[in-house]
Chains A and B, each alone.
Chain A
Amino acid sequence: MSEPMIEEAPVSLSEAPTRRLNMIEAINDALDLMMERDPDVVVMGEDVGYFGGVFRATAGLQKKYGKTRVFDTPISECGIIGVAVGMGAYGLRPVPEIQFADYIYPGLDQLVSEAARLRYRSAGGFIAPLTVRSPFGGGIFGGQTHSQSPEALFTHVAGIKTVVPSTPHDAKGLLIAAIEDNDPVIFFEPKRIYNGPFNGYYDKPVEPWSRHPDSAVPEGYYSIPLGKARIVRPGEAVTVLAYGTMVHVAEAVLREKGVDAEIIDLRTLVPLDIDTIEQSVRKTGKCLIVHEATRTSGFGAELSALVQERCFYHLEAPIERVTGFDTPYPHSLEWAYFPGPVRTHRLRNLRGQRRGDRYSPDHRSPRPENHHYPPAHPLCARPGIMLAGSA
């Protein structure tokens, strides 16, 4: 994307009139605005028409734009995505909704084999400029099929962009950018933070968005380029990579612990803002990755690998991941599963220990006496690498 970042826009958005919106209202605002601007934008999905969506994201749109631009569909995710691909081939800009990310799987063949590859296999002859909106993530007692975070299924697919907003302000700007983008975009909306920036403290009342600075949403058009992360909070002690609900959880936990963490909200997973990540980890020397999705082969594994490859000589401790467990999302044990404050309090990277401290995660068995750490690999034995940052 070559468009300037919103912070650099010639007309400062801080001067634009704003309203306090929650995330649903911001998404509704973005859809309304894009339907107004572009007659080729159509919104479709289960219950999105007359009723306005089970989360109200499309409320009022059918009344305003008519049934041929905002319409209910049969309960068929394969059909919804497949039909949207055909509409895109015609020249429309469809914004299909999948009611829950947990139900996107019947549409997976159409997304992976068709939408993602249309441009490539036709050498640009046909494109699939769709934006698939879908509520995702847990923390709402949604159980197994209303809580999943399947982003890694999509980040693994060449040709699809994956976006996850964490604030009303970003939700509007990113959704506008996604709809304008000529590539297929999966737009995952963390439903836990539709109404307020949930911080993981499930036993305390959730603050509404109106008290959060990022609920000030400018009126009118603005877009946030895909592929640009947001530094939520600058810091020196550790880099925290998060997206969606976990941005707010990480922020609260680290504030409570008094860790001077640099929190990065990735916003777009593919394409990833690798520069922002690299700069931060090179500064802090440590990296913590947080996501709700299950651990094995989750997007955190890719992040960890990238940081390891690109910041190896700057790392002072192993990269840590706090993620959902490798189980289906449980109902009654939600707060034992959710990577919230309970799950993060023992992490070494969060203890604010001195730079250069050795790592001994307490979930592993103790090291044998004769075990040398770091391992005696020729690369690691080079002076200046072992000692990096140990002052």
Chain B
Amino acid sequence: MTDAGAPGATGTQGHGNLPPLSLHVPEPKFRPGDTVDYSHIKVPPAGAQPRPDESCAASETHPLCLDLVRVLDDENRAVGPWNPKLDAETLRRMLRMMALTRAFDDRMYRGQRQGKTSFYMKCTGEEATSIAPAMALAHDDMVFPSYRQQGILITRGYPLVEMINQIYSNRADKLKGRQLPIMYSAPEHAFFTISGNLATQYPQAVGWAMASAIKGDTRIAATWIGEGSTAEGDFHSAMTFAAVYNAPVIFNVVNNQWAISSFSGFAGAERTTFAARAIGYGIAGLRVDGNDPLAVYAATQWAANRARANAGPTLIEHFTYRAEGHSTSDDPTQYRSAQEREEWPLGDPVTRLLRHLIALGEWSEEQHAAMDRELVDLVKAATREAEKNGVLGHGLHHPFHTMFEDVFEELPWHLREQSEQAIRERRIKWPEWSDESWRENGR
């Protein structure tokens, strides 16, 4: 029996006539089958947002944290002070990278369904949030991505074949089959190794930026996180350290409304924007239309200039929508209305840039269709090339002993012993087995 007066006891008696307290558990507006009405999302007109000086006080950006920086208007023109005024060649390259990323995602998703790999994650609808920043940053600015910024690698010219090798965990995989698919690592492309543990890259990016400042370098760091992961303690630590040391870092929060099945309300979105959090730390904040590649580019450029001038870090919230499931292991029809994607008020980033280029007279539907076909072939060719090195579960992996390497710089005795043990265990089933024979015939 519980004593109702004891500490920790549950009970309902209140004090005097105070109303009973109630717990608020957020609930998304729409569930499967619901009609979607996005009228509560305020979409301000493009070009209406002021562009403060890059060296302004962080507090001056507060209005922008509650607004939405937009460049592309309803007539597909680039307008206002945030217009980065990119030339047609750059715009076409941006469009191509976005279309290529989408084609890559589609192909890899199919590859997972065909059993060529165990897992995949698309970034459909969010292409602008990785490709535009990758183009606005210098090629050697270090990026600390989450798992949904494959667009950065593609934009930086990382070979598609290498990406697919990693996804297939085959014998050419540069990560030697150790990592879950899509957890890329590309030091020579200034792309930090992706971790499964959410938000850990945030303080790491700050540390990298601090190191760059300690050494009097000119490179800056940029990092990405989903809105759901802003709830992690690492987010707070990173923001605090960046503010304290005025670290040259750009924090990107990709607010795609969903963290697997949890809507952004579970990260605190019902009370304020994610950009507004920056202000409490004394960091500049910008909230941008994440489906407007020009707005994303301009915001990144603004933040990069600010960081490079030792004016401090910036947090950019990219307001966007996760058009697909969380991963190949997820079925979004179980928790959200299928209509959401169609009704999303900020549209599709690829379509918006395409229409902008057409409006400029620098692109056509025919050219776009031809490019799409070309990109599909490009991805297909890369896939075929990668498949020569094997697909998951069909042999052709890295040599067996590599499993024990790189835990430490040198192999300590206990790992050497375990490596030998593993070989003995394998020979129980395949007495003739050796690393070499296995490399050739796949076991």
Which residues in A have some Cβ–Cβ distance to B below 8 Å? Answer: 1, 42, 68-69, 73-74, 76, 78-79, 82-92, 94, 106, 109-110, 113-114, 117-127, 158-159, 161, 181-183, 227, 270-272, 274
The answer to whether B175 and A161 have CB atoms under 8 Å apart is: no
A270 to B185 Cα, complex, angstroms: 27
- Residues in chain B near residue A76, CB distance under 8 A: 236-237, 240-241
The answer to whether B409 and A121 have CB atoms under 8 Å apart is: no
State which of A106, A118, A158 has its C-beta within 8 Å of the C-beta of B233.
Answer: A106
State which of B233, B406, B407, B413 has its C-beta within 8 Å of the C-beta of A274.
Answer: B413
The answer to whether A118 and B193 have CB atoms under 8 Å apart is: yes
Tell me if B192 is interfacial: C-beta within 8 Å of chain A.
yes
| Total B residues in contact with A, Cβ cutoff 8 Å | 48
The answer to whether A78 and B234 have CB atoms under 8 Å apart is: yes
Greatest chain B CB density within 10 A among A92, A106, A274 is at A92
The answer to whether A272 and B414 have CB atoms under 8 Å apart is: yes
- Residues in chain B near residue A88, CB distance under 8 A: 207
In the complex, how many angstroms separate the beta carbon of B404 from the nearest chain A beta carbon? 10
Q: Which 4 A-B pairs have the closest CB atoms?
A: A86-B207, A82-B203, A79-B237, A83-B207
The answer to whether A74 and B178 have CB atoms under 8 Å apart is: no
- Residues in chain A near residue B211, CB distance under 8 A: 86-87, 90-92
Beyond A82-B206, A118-B193, 8 additional contacts (C-beta under 8 Å) are A74-B241, A79-B237, A83-B206, A83-B210, A86-B208, A89-B192, A113-B200, A159-B407
The answer to whether B142 and A90 have CB atoms under 8 Å apart is: yes
A271 to B411 Cα, complex, angstroms: 10
A125 to B193 Cα, complex, angstroms: 8
- Report B196-217 CB contacts with A as 1/0, cut-off 8 Å: 1100101111111111111100
The answer to whether A109 and B197 have CB atoms under 8 Å apart is: yes
The answer to whether A121 and B195 have CB atoms under 8 Å apart is: yes
State which of B197, B214, B241 has its C-beta within 8 Å of the C-beta of A42.
Answer: B214
Closest residue to B187 on the A side, CB-wise?
A: A125
In the complex, how many angstroms separate the beta carbon of B143 from the nearest chain A beta carbon? 12
- Residues in chain B near residue A122, CB distance under 8 A: 175, 185, 187, 193
State which of A73, A83, A158, A181 has its C-beta within 8 Å of the C-beta of B204.
Answer: A83
A122 to B185 Cα, complex, angstroms: 6
A125 to B209 Cα, complex, angstroms: 18
State which of A90, A92, A125, A272 has its C-beta within 8 Å of the C-beta of B185.
Answer: A125
Within 8 A of A (CB), among B388-438: 406-410, 412-414
Closest residue to B216 on the A side, CB-wise?
A: A68
Greatest chain B CB density within 10 A among A73, A122, A158, A159 is at A122
Given A110-B200, A122-B187, is A86 in contact with B210 using a C-beta cutoff of 8 Å? yes
- Residues in chain A near residue B202, CB distance under 8 A: 82
Which residues in B have some Cβ–Cβ distance to A below 8 Å? Answer: 142, 144, 174-176, 178-179, 183, 185-187, 192-193, 195-197, 200, 202-215, 221, 233-234, 236-238, 240-241, 244, 406-410, 412-414
The answer to whether A87 and B207 have CB atoms under 8 Å apart is: yes
A-B contact pairs, 22 of them (CB 8 A): A42-B214, A76-B236, A76-B240, A79-B206, A82-B200, A82-B206, A82-B234, A82-B238, A86-B205, A86-B208, A89-B192, A89-B208, A113-B195, A113-B200, A114-B204, A118-B193, A119-B406, A121-B185, A123-B178, A123-B185, A124-B406, A125-B193
The answer to whether B210 and A69 have CB atoms under 8 Å apart is: no
Given A73-B241, A76-B241, A90-B207, is A120 in contact with B406 using a C-beta cutoff of 8 Å? yes
Given A114-B197, A114-B204, is A83 in contact with B241 using a C-beta cutoff of 8 Å? yes
- Residues in chain B near residue A1, CB distance under 8 A: 410
Greatest chain B CB density within 10 A among A83, A125, A127, A227 is at A83
Greatest chain B CB density within 10 A among A1, A124, A182 is at A124
A120 to B183 Cα, complex, angstroms: 13
A76 to B175 Cα, complex, angstroms: 32
- Residues in chain A near residue B209, CB distance under 8 A: 86
A121 to B204 Cα, complex, angstroms: 16
A183 to B407 Cα, complex, angstroms: 9
A79 to B236 Cα, complex, angstroms: 9
- Residues in chain A near residue B192, CB distance under 8 A: 89, 126
The answer to whether A121 and B175 have CB atoms under 8 Å apart is: yes
- Residues in chain A near residue B237, CB distance under 8 A: 74, 76, 78-79, 82
A272 to B414 Cα, complex, angstroms: 9
Closest residue to B144 on the A side, CB-wise?
A: A86
State which of A68, A84, A270 has its C-beta within 8 Å of the C-beta of B214.
Answer: A68
The answer to whether B207 and A126 have CB atoms under 8 Å apart is: no
Given A73-B241, A83-B241, is A90 in contact with B407 using a C-beta cutoff of 8 Å? no
A42 to B213 Cα, complex, angstroms: 13
A42 to B195 Cα, complex, angstroms: 25
- Residues in chain A near residue B204, CB distance under 8 A: 82-83, 85-86, 89, 114
The answer to whether A82 and B408 have CB atoms under 8 Å apart is: no
A74 to B236 Cα, complex, angstroms: 11
The answer to whether B413 and A271 have CB atoms under 8 Å apart is: yes
- Residues in chain B near residue A272, CB distance under 8 A: 414
- Residues in chain A near residue B210, CB distance under 8 A: 83, 86-87
Closest residue to B212 on the A side, CB-wise?
A: A90
In the complex, how many angstroms separate the beta carbon of B175 from the nearest chain A beta carbon? 5
A181 to B192 Cα, complex, angstroms: 22
Closest residue to A275 on the B side, CB-wise?
A: B413
- Residues in chain A near residue B142, CB distance under 8 A: 89-90
Given A83-B241, A126-B185, A271-B413, is A114 in contact with B195 using a C-beta cutoff of 8 Å? yes
The answer to whether B203 and A123 have CB atoms under 8 Å apart is: no
A322 to B240 Cα, complex, angstroms: 43
